[in-house]
Amino acid sequence: MLQVAIIGATGYTGSELVRILSHHPYTNIALITSESRSGERFSDVHPSFEGICDIKLQMAAEIYKTHLDIVFLAVPHRVSMGYVQKWQNHKFKIIDLSGDYRLSSADVYQKWYDKEHLTPDLVPDVVYGLPEIDSNAISSQKIVANPGCYPTASILALAPLLANGIVDTKSIIIDAKSGITGAGVKSSATTHYSNVNENFKAYALKTHRHTIEIEEQLGELSESDLKVQFTPHLLPIDRGILTTCYATPQKTVTEKGLQKLYTSYYQSKPFVRVRQQAPEIKHIRGTNLCDVFVTYDERTNRIIALSAIDNLVKGAAGQAVQNMNIMSDLPQTAGLLSIPLNP
Amino acid sequence: MLQVAIIGATGYTGSELVRILSHHPYTNIALITSESRSGERFSDVHPSFEGICDIKLQMAAEIYKTHLDIVFLAVPHRVSMGYVQKWQNHKFKIIDLSGDYRLSSADVYQKWYDKEHLTPDLVPDVVYGLPEIDSNAISSQKIVANPGCYPTASILALAPLLANGIVDTKSIIIDAKSGITGAGVKSSATTHYSNVNENFKAYALKTHRHTIEIEEQLGELSESDLKVQFTPHLLPIDRGILTTCYATPQKTVTEKGLQKLYTSYYQSKPFVRVRQQAPEIKHIRGTNLCDVFVTYDERTNRIIALSAIDNLVKGAAGQAVQNMNIMSDLPQTAGLLSIPLNP
Amino acid sequence: MLQVAIIGATGYTGSELVRILSHHPYTNIALITSESRSGERFSDVHPSFEGICDIKLQMAAEIYKTHLDIVFLAVPHRVSMGYVQKWQNHKFKIIDLSGDYRLSSADVYQKWYDKEHLTPDLVPDVVYGLPEIDSNAISSQKIVANPGCYPTASILALAPLLANGIVDTKSIIIDAKSGITGAGVKSSATTHYSNVNENFKAYALKTHRHTIEIEEQLGELSESDLKVQFTPHLLPIDRGILTTCYATPQKTVTEKGLQKLYTSYYQSKPFVRVRQQAPEIKHIRGTNLCDVFVTYDERTNRIIALSAIDNLVKGAAGQAVQNMNIMSDLPQTAGLLSIPLNP
Amino acid sequence: MLQVAIIGATGYTGSELVRILSHHPYTNIALITSESRSGERFSDVHPSFEGICDIKLQMAAEIYKTHLDIVFLAVPHRVSMGYVQKWQNHKFKIIDLSGDYRLSSADVYQKWYDKEHLTPDLVPDVVYGLPEIDSNAISSQKIVANPGCYPTASILALAPLLANGIVDTKSIIIDAKSGITGAGVKSSATTHYSNVNENFKAYALKTHRHTIEIEEQLGELSESDLKVQFTPHLLPIDRGILTTCYATPQKTVTEKGLQKLYTSYYQSKPFVRVRQQAPEIKHIRGTNLCDVFVTYDERTNRIIALSAIDNLVKGAAGQAVQNMNIMSDLPQTAGLLSIPLNP
């Protein structure tokens, strides 16, 4: 059994990690930490878990006293890099769910996150853990940066096009819509029920930090220096992201050809379902699945690619467990085969 | 492996049975039927299941050609009794999720369901499958009537009081609130999004068929001929029932004493959680759990007992699988230990 | 034109007062105040009002420099009594939307609100402004206490029974359900979208402050010292309260007789609709209406009375305007005849 | 007083017309018709209107016996053209809320609606009633085609750009999101609560009929033959449309310049609010307002324009009343100045 620690228990990422790992056949949750609520039980913070996970929360410093194979960092960015700085030479492997190690360099990080990085030398070396793109690169790593939720959905929607040089790299528009859990567990005007319910809006126009994450990954796939138009919106639902992506082909394409390409690209990827119809968020809710669909509009000569993921699972905790599986030579799907809760 | 059949694939009960049984360690889904959509795949009817359950739907008559240990009837009442009539002498065991065999006699059935029963002699013999009340009675049965969703929540909220003669049996009021999946998969004005969303109402005042089901079961527990006031309401959510039950004690009680009683009554019942605070629907969503809470208002001399279940799981498919486990000498919790999806 | 001031602009009560008064034919909004956001425009705080109400917010002290006929206090309890203490001798009339002057005495207030009252002598003299019960008493007042949202719905559901001695005063149970705006505009775990959405729960069991408000008013109507069982619940909707009230008759009653009684009791009350079917929240959304319905269950010998209001309108701002109309000799319905927004 | 008739009472458009016209200062609802429910009261069909509009529904043939100035056709397309064919020579003016007369010719209609037109000669002559684009053209008309909901939002978002030759006409993408009332009052799998709630999806990719309506109108504004990429999505809310529109400039632009252009273009348009921030659906709910916002992304050289309307008001009934006002020489805002219901 892998001994795992979850650093940061109070957020949604933390509770989803516990939800998934509790039934994982090859792991044991050895430690859950929270600086603000240590001493309480995990189920005091997340009452759904009463009788299911009543582990007492510890301070993060407890990692020194615990035998651990894997440490999940489920804390805000900035906090994450502090732990990595301290723990990088420990024996356990680290999967960081924050944004701190997803970008190509400390400079790029500083530009988009507006703060200096604590471990600039480490940044370029940490692998971006999106297994459907390159799971080999992940398997040998000691530290993996778990992708953001929007980037996971966006990259999986577009990867077959970029990897095959099909689209004009200047033409990419990603119109993304996310459930409110993406904004976190913290109470604020943004998450107040009456500001979300029966409402819908775009936010962070032109400036969302996930933009650069998408650009770097798609850029690498297409071996080009591309820019994307990324517009996130807030859906009045708990979970789920749907992206609607537009791009102009730079080659002759057909709808059939594109669908064949997607099917082939994701052939041996257990969590990507290439659908025959536009995906729906509820079809993947609570699971590590990513549904994708591609179509071609002859009238306008434009490709439309759509994807749907659960932002807390494939967009966070589920993908982190998938990375853990890969890093630990376990079957990629171990502990991750739940069925969508629908309705 | 138990070979199981699900008769009736198109409804929510059918899809929940498949969701649960797909990961059940001791069963194999040998047959799924639908008279209206046979020939199609299960995932054509429920697209969430694409790649997860693509079994081809058959006609119910296929049961004759299939080796089966357990048959779940996930069809409307009236339809159910037709199948039971035909299949009662077959070797497989039957778990009926409809209301056809839950009442004490064909006469009572006719009074509340307004139709003659097809197998009047069988009705009194079929056991009511609420395992927390009497799991021994279930274990030896060939046919079990799976309880209704409201009755499951209501009886579990009140059973410790009735079984111990604590309350005036004339004083019981059950104010129940259910998510819209209780109204089924059928499209109608009742289930139209804009009639449910941002709305709330009571319905079937004084006449809901689950009233008699609750009365008979609580009556048996209290060895009395009781009547309850049962008022269902429609919540603008997908899943979940919350009941708020009121009763006047006929003995001196204390809050502490009542909570101790509940804890003790449900001690070895793995799916009932006696909580220290008012239950919430989201704390049990997607699971076979029933959260209960009891309190006593000295000011008014009244006991308030609350319960929360997922109407599609503990209120239908999950409880059916729990009954199957008991009827098949499997651990009661086999296949049923999922963790609430929250948020 | 009546010159009116709204003290407290940031909450929902404040914004609803502006919404209603902006189209009132006989009033002019002379002043809107906010201690925390003075200097900003009303539409900076409530962006829906851009171009509709861009009045600059003032400090409350501005009331001394403004000619005013009516002052609405849309501030939290405790804050309200401070203003009343200072302003009680000014010429303008005061309508207090907080709980500070709704109870019969400072002693009762202290018991339920757990704080000493600042103006104990004033408390017994301030009239409870529920116009359907006694609008004459309101018309001559200088200060009126605007009823709570739950009490408005509960009292209107039950008043005809109590005023006519029909029910056993010990038997009253009010199972109430409210939308989340009842919890106010403040961000907290309680109002976080993901704690409300797809969820439902009871809260403040046995102890909600509106209990005593209901008891005192129904007690007066029935000339008795009654206690009610009042259980509030939180609905995943923005607006609206539905109450389901239970009581045992102490006389022989019939359903027809009860419905006739209700129709007659509310005959000349323009905002109460006695319905022929169970009320629905969406049927009154955005309006000052109160839908009521009464039925009698012969089987259990119990009366069920239901009511529905919009908690922000008939339960707060609308009723305050109705009180203003009465206090100012205007038609009771002036400015209040909007039509339910449905869907 | 204008005597008006509403043909088609059972849908949302019909009920919104009654909601708005009931408080219109210059109209009298002389007739409401429904072929399927004539004889019943309007409030039997829409119970929110009990006591507010209890008019008895008639057959459409009653228009011959009624003095009428304005007839609103609130019936499905195809049905509408049948009435126009019969009634075109009557004295009253007609406002058609269906899609039957919005396109430039019967040929275009047949191509997108897949049916022959009954009055092909009339089609080119009927004016498209979007008052913010050309209210003069509307004022003298006898028959006006009320725009579709998506086209209203899309055209108002983009009109200043097209009318001023600012964008490459091949670059326009409209990613639109609508509440479920856009799918109508009919019960279907599409409108079933559990298929909408907590869900989100695109639909009618590449083929939605509103595409051609948008193309023709924007084409006229830009004096070019343009094509747009239009992708509608279904939001889990009752009302409201938000469009996110992307276009590439063909001139040098600045964000400031664009915002100035929008402000100036909509200067004397009472229902368009040019906002300084991304619009939100709840900011315009229940009103005839259209909020628009434009921004420019220097990084990608792309213009993003967003708009929000209430699909049932500015997208249907409200705009129809606005057209009636213009056709009847009334102030454009008569009866239409309600304030957003928020929350």
Give chain D positions within 8 Å (CB) of B198. 238
Q: What is the pLDDT of residue B228?
A: 98
Q: Are D276 and D208 in contact (CB under 8 A)?
A: no
Tell me the β-bridge partners of C93: C70
> Reading across the β-sheet that carries A93-96, which strands appear in turn?
A27-33, A2-7, A70-73, A93-96, A143-145, A127-128
Rounded Cα distance between B40 and D185, Å, is 30
Query: Cα D318–D322–D326 angle (5° rounding)?
Result: 170
Region B231-236: mean pLDDT is 98
For the purposes of burial, counting CB atoms within 10 Å of the CB of D139, is it exposed (0-12), middle (13-18) or buried (19 or more)?
middle
Q: Are A218 and A226 in contact (CB under 8 A)?
A: yes
Q: Are C252 and C303 in contact (CB under 8 A)?
A: no
Tell me the β-bridge partners of D96: D73, D145
Do D49 and C339 make contact, defined as CB atoms within 8 angstroms?
A: yes
Rounded Cα distance between A149 and A147, Å, is 7
Residue of chain A minimizing CA distance to B48? A283
The DSSP 8-state label assigned to residue C192 in this structure reads B
Mean pLDDT of chain D: 98
Rounded Cα distance between A109 and B171, Å, is 66
Tell me the β-bridge partners of A293: A306
pLDDT, tens digit, 9 for 90 and up, residues A262-315: 999 999 999 999 999 999 999 999 999 999 999 999 999 999 999 999 999 999
For the purposes of burial, counting CB atoms within 10 Å of the CB of B184, is it exposed (0-12), middle (13-18) or buried (19 or more)?
middle
Q: What is the pLDDT of residue D342?
A: 96
Rounded Cα distance between A309 and A130, Å, is 14
Q: What is the dihedral of CA A239, B25, B151, B262, to 10 degrees?
A: -90
Which residues have a Cβ under 8 Å from the Cβ of C264 and sit 6 or more positions away? none
Chain B residues with CB under 8 Å of a chain C CB are 173, 175, 177, 194-195, 197-203, 205-206, 227-229, 231, 233, 235-240, 242, 244, 246, 278-282, 285, 295, 297, 299-300, 302, 304, 306, 308, 343
CB atoms within 10 A of CB B121: 8
> Reading across the β-sheet that carries A290-297, which strands appear in turn?
A201-202, A229-234, A173-178, A241-247, A302-309, A290-297, A272-274
pLDDT, tens digit, 9 for 90 and up, residues C231-269: 999 999 999 999 999 999 999 999 999 999 999 999 999
Alpha helix segments (H runs only) across C192-329: 193-196, 210-222, 255-265, 318-327
pLDDT, tens digit, 9 for 90 and up, residues D13-68: 999 999 999 999 999 999 999 999 999 999 999 999 999 999 999 999 999 999 99
Give the DSSP H or E segment for A71.
Answer: strand A70-73
Q: What is the pLDDT of residue A273?
A: 98
DSSP sequence for C6-41: EE--SSHHHHHHHHHHTT-TTEEEEEEE-TTTTTSB
Facing C273 at nearest CB: one of D50, D198, D338: D50
pLDDT, tens digit, 9 for 90 and up, residues D262-305: 999 999 999 999 999 999 999 999 999 999 999 999 999 999 99
Region D68-88: mean pLDDT is 98
What would you report as the CA-atom Rg of chain A, rounded to the nearest whole angstrom? 20
Facing B283 at nearest CB: one of A19, A47, A282: A47
Alpha helix segments (H runs only) across chain C: 12-21, 42-45, 79-87, 106-113, 131-139, 149-163, 193-196, 210-222, 255-265, 318-327
The DSSP 8-state label assigned to residue D167 in this structure reads B
Phi, psi of B96 (to 5 degrees): -100, 115
Give chain C positions within 8 Å (CB) of B277. none
Q: D338 vs B7, C336, D10, D15, D20, CA distance in Å?
A: 53, 12, 23, 16, 9
Give the DSSP H or E segment for B71.
Answer: strand B70-73
Q: What is the pLDDT of residue B111?
A: 98
Q: What is the pLDDT of residue B296?
A: 98
Give chain C positions within 8 Å (CB) of D272. none
pLDDT, tens digit, 9 for 90 and up, residues B6-31: 999 999 999 999 999 999 999 999 99
CB atoms within 10 A of CB D116: 10
Q: Which two tokens stand for residue B25?
A: 């360690």
Facing C48 at nearest CB: one of D12, D51, D342: D342
Rounded Cα distance between C49 and D284, Å, is 9
Q: What is the pLDDT of residue A208?
A: 98
Share of chain B above pLDDT 90, in %: 100
Do D304 and A199 make contact, defined as CB atoms within 8 angstroms?
A: no
Q: What is the pLDDT of residue C198?
A: 98
pLDDT, tens digit, 9 for 90 and up, residues C129-156: 999 999 999 999 999 999 999 999 999 9
Q: Are D271 and D215 in contact (CB under 8 A)?
A: no
DSSP sequence for B282-332: GGSTTSS-EEEEEEEETTTTEEEEEEEE-TTIIIIIHHHHHHHHHHTT--T
Q: B328 vs B93, B94, B310, B322, CA distance in Å?
A: 9, 12, 24, 10
A65 phi-psi bin (left φ>0, alpha ψ -120 to 50, beta other)? alpha
Alpha helix segments (H runs only) across A185-304: 193-196, 210-222, 255-265
Rounded Cα distance between A191 and C189, Å, is 10
pLDDT, tens digit, 9 for 90 and up, residues C166-224: 999 999 999 999 999 999 999 999 999 999 999 999 999 999 999 999 999 999 999 99
Which residues have a Cβ under 8 Å from the Cβ of D298 and sit 6 or more positions away? none
Q: What is the pLDDT of residue B231?
A: 98
Q: What is the pLDDT of residue A23?
A: 95
Q: What is the pLDDT of residue C249?
A: 98
pLDDT, tens digit, 9 for 90 and up, residues D128-172: 999 999 999 999 999 999 999 999 999 999 999 999 999 999 999
Rounded Cα distance between D158 and D176, Å, is 13
Residue of chain B minimizing CA distance to D12? B194
Question: C223-253: buried (b, 16+ CB within 10 Å) or exposed (e) per residue?
Answer: eeebbbbbbbbbbbbbbbbbbbbbbbbeeeb
Give chain B positions within 8 Å (CB) of C282. 195, 198-199
The residues of C assigned a catalytic role are 149
Most C-contacting residue of B180, B195, B201 (CB-CB within 10 A), to test interface = B201
Our CA-based measurement puts residue C278 at a distance from the nearest CA of chain A, in whole angstroms, of 25
Tell me the β-bridge partners of B304: B246, B295
Region B315-340: mean pLDDT is 98
pLDDT band at C30 (very low <50, low <70, confident <90, very high): very high
3-state secondary structure D179-227: CHHHHCCCCCCCCEHHHHCCCCEECCCCCCCHHHHHHHHHHHHHCCCCC
pLDDT band at C39 (very low <50, low <70, confident <90, very high): very high
Q: Which two tokens stand for residue D273?
A: 């609010």
Give chain B positions within 8 Å (CB) of A342. 15, 46, 48
pLDDT, tens digit, 9 for 90 and up, residues A180-231: 999 999 999 999 999 999 999 999 999 999 999 999 999 999 999 999 999 9
Rounded Cα distance between B272 and B137, Å, is 19
Q: What is the pLDDT of residue C98?
A: 98
Do C227 and B200 make contact, defined as CB atoms within 8 angstroms?
A: no
pLDDT band at B254 (very low <50, low <70, confident <90, very high): very high
Region A66-85: mean pLDDT is 98
Which residues have a Cβ under 8 Å from the Cβ of D145 and sit 6 or more positions away? D96, D100, D101, D102, D126, D127, D128, D129
Region B255-282: mean pLDDT is 98
The residues of B assigned a catalytic role are 149
What's the sign of the alpha-carbon dihedral C210, C213, C215, C218? Answer: negative
Q: What is the pLDDT of residue D150?
A: 98
Q: Are D306 and D298 in contact (CB under 8 A)?
A: no
Alpha helix segments (H runs only) across B102-198: 106-113, 131-139, 149-163, 193-196
pLDDT, tens digit, 9 for 90 and up, residues B34-76: 999 999 999 999 999 999 999 999 999 999 999 999 999 999 9
Q: Which two tokens stand for residue C178?
A: 């409210």
Region A149-155: mean pLDDT is 98
Q: Which residue shows structure tokens 């009742």? A: B190
pLDDT, tens digit, 9 for 90 and up, residues A89-116: 999 999 999 999 999 999 999 999 999 9
Local structure of B244: helix, strand or coil: strand
Residue of chain C minimizing CA distance to B237? C198
Rounded Cα distance between B177 and B233, Å, is 5
Q: What is the pLDDT of residue C31?
A: 98
